[in-house]
């Protein structure tokens, strides 16, 4: 089966080479396994296809109709040639350099650490500690483009996770919150307490559940209603007492 597929591909290729000019070809996108499965441009020369200095482009020395291109791409028998066989003229992304690996040029991560004089731990913007800034740059090159140095030294959490904080009175007053902030080390941010118009939402302070307002239970109402007839007579079907101006009927005086 594979032999017949290869023969079919060679026949189609030789037939199209005779129909098209020698300098016309197709520019392909080449995957890591050196297979050309996506057409970038048709009817271009090798110089036009390989002018960008990319490692993932390849050139095919003939231009085929789209139906035949789809067939050859599906079968994976496009005889495309990589634009770059060496690292000469290869343009890699920032932080990467071109090196020969397994006989092919490849862009590998190699950040420039010449400007780093002292090597000590740093804290990254992802909350992780790195051995030094060069290690962080390597991690940025390997899939974390937004990674930055937050500060020198390992990452340390300024706030701890204590138990829930509930005031004795049951209410969070301004004085109580101010005292909690000072105890937690937020005194370096005076705008949190001194300027209410520019307050920001606090993170991790405090870590206790906020008190909920006292809700009147239905059982309490029912318990009170049991004692209402002893104090104030109710009309049949009434659940609540009469208005305040209503008075019970006067009983006749016993003679």
Tens of pLDDT, residue by residue over 161-186, are 444 555 555 555 666 666 666 555 54
Q: Residue 250 pLDDT more than 90?
A: no
**Residue 200, CA atoms < 13 Å, CB-side half-sphere:** 8
What's phi and psi for 42, nearest 5 deg? -125, 150
Per the prediction, the chain carries an average pLDDT of 69
pLDDT of 56 = 85
pLDDT of 204 = 47
- Whether 136 is in a domain gets the answer yes
Q: Residue 151 pLDDT more than 50?
A: yes
**Which residue range(s) make up the domain with 67?**
2-82
Q: Residue 188 pLDDT more than 50?
A: no
* Percent of residues, the chain, with pLDDT higher than 90: 9
- Whether 53 is in a domain gets the answer yes
- Whether 249 is in a domain gets the answer no
- With bands split at pLDDT 50, 70 and 90, how would you rate the model's confidence at 26? confident
Tens of pLDDT, residue by residue over 191-212, are 444 444 545 554 444 455 544 5
- Whether 102 is in a domain gets the answer yes
- Whether 50 is in a domain gets the answer yes
Among residues 55, 82, 109, which one ends one of the domains? 82
- With bands split at pLDDT 50, 70 and 90, how would you rate the model's confidence at 242? low
Give the separation between CA 149 and CA 153, rounded to whole angstroms. Answer: 10
Q: Residue 154 pLDDT more than 80?
A: yes
- Whether 177 is in a domain gets the answer yes
- Whether 135 is in a domain gets the answer yes
Inter-residue contact 100 to 87 (CB < 8 Å): yes
Inter-residue contact 14 to 22 (CB < 8 Å): no
Tens of pLDDT, residue by residue over 85-139, are 889 888 888 889 999 988 888 899 999 888 888 788 999 999 899 999 999 999 9
Q: Are residues 65 and 129 in the same domain?
A: no
Determine the average pLDDT of the residues in 223-228.
55
Least confident residue range of 6-15, 145-154, 239-248: 6-15
Which residues in 22-40 are b (16+ Cβ under 10 Å) and which e?
Answer: eeebbbbebeeeebbeebb
Sheet holding 36-44, edge to edge: 36-44, 25-30, 57-60, 81-82
Inter-residue contact 17 to 11 (CB < 8 Å): no
Give the separation between CA 55 and CA 221, rounded to whole angstroms. Answer: 80
- Whether 36 is in a domain gets the answer yes
Q: Are residues 148 and 164 in the same domain?
A: no
pLDDT of 209 = 52
Q: Are residues 62 and 133 in the same domain?
A: no
DSSP character at residue 197? G
Q: In CATH, what number is assigned to the domain containing residue 115? A: 3.30.60.30
Count how many domains the chain has. 3
Q: In CATH, what number is assigned to the domain containing residue 52? A: 3.90.290.10
Among residues 35, 53, 82, which one ends one of the domains? 82
Among residues 31, 56, 82, which one ends one of the domains? 82
Higher-pLDDT residue of 64, 59 = 59
Give the separation between CA 237 and CA 2, rounded to whole angstroms. Answer: 92
DSSP character at residue 203? S
The tokens for 179 are 């005292």
Q: Residue 35 pLDDT more than 70?
A: yes
């Amino acid at each position: 089966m594979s032999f017949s597929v290869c023969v079919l591909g060679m026949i189609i290729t030789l037939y199209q080479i005779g129909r098209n000019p020698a300098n016309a070809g197709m520019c392909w996108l080449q995957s890591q396994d050196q297979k050309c499965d996506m057409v970038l441009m048709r009817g271009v020369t090798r110089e036009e296809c390989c002018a960008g200095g990319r490692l993932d482009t390849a050139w095919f020395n003939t231009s085929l109709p789209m139906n035949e291109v789809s067939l050859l791409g599906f079968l994976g028998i496009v005889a495309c040639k990589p634009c770059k066989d060496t690292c000469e003229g290869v343009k890699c992304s920032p932080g990467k350099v071109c090196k020969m690996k397994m006989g092919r040029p490849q862009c590998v991560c190699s950040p420039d650490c010449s400007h780093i004089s002292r090597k000590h731990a740093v804290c990254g913007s992802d909350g992780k500690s790195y051995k030094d800034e060069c290690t962080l740059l390597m991690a940025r090159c390997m899939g974390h483009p937004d990674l930055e140095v937050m500060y020198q030294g390992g990452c340390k959490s300024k706030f701890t996770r204590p138990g829930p904080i509930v005031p004795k009175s049951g209410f969070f007053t301004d004085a109580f919150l101010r005292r909690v902030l000072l105890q937690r080390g937020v005194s370096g941010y005076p705008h949190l307490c001194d300027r209410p118009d520019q307050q920001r939402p606090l993170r991790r302070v405090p870590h206790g559940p906020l008190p909920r307002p006292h809700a009147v239970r239905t059982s309490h109402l029912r318990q009170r209603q049991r004692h209402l007839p002893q104090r104030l007579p109710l009309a049949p079907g009434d659940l609540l007492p009469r208005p305040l101006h209503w008075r019970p009927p006067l009983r006749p005086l016993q003679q």
